[in-house]
Amino acid sequence: MAPYFMRYNSGRIHQTLRVTPAMEAGIADHVWTLEEIVRLQARGEVLMATYDQIRDFVRRHSGFDPKTCWIAHVKQLNGLPVRRAWNRRSGSREIPCPPEKRPAIEAALRQLGMI
């Protein structure tokens, strides 16, 4: 499923943006070809899904709506890069992911090709 998201975000110009979402976000400077996307996956590089894509997967398959901070916590626990939230007051995580919710979020990360 991750190549689909890469194609959607990096390889297709969106009518309302007039560029790809990746170009709009400043993380790409051109429209990616399918060959480039496949080459990235073949090299084993991590293809990142958005938080909304992760949340939608968890909602559909596990029946709950994970908080963004839970997703960030699970990503961090699995060695994926995360940024410091703009609203975090201290250096520590104020709302860690409950242990019983972690497997569903990790399943989404696996399904989306992130781990």
Model confidence pLDDT, tens digit, residues 26-47: 777 889 888 887 777 666 655 5
Calculate mean pLDDT across residues 87-103: 86
Q: What residue segments make up the domains of the chain, in order of their start?
A: 2-42, 51-111
Token pair in block for residue 26: 């400043």
HEC string for the chain = CHHHHHHHHHCCCCCCCCCCHHHHHCCCCCCCCHHHHHHHHHCCCCCCCCHHHHHHHHHHHHCCCCCHHHHHHHHHHCCCCCCCCCCCCCCCCCCCCCCCCHHHHHHHHHHCCCC
Mean pLDDT score across all residues of the chain: 83
- Give the residue carrying structure tokens 């007039």: 18
Type of residue found at 42: A
The reported pTM is 0.60
Terminal Cα distance for the chain, rounded: 13
Residue with the bigger pLDDT between 11 and 42: it is 11
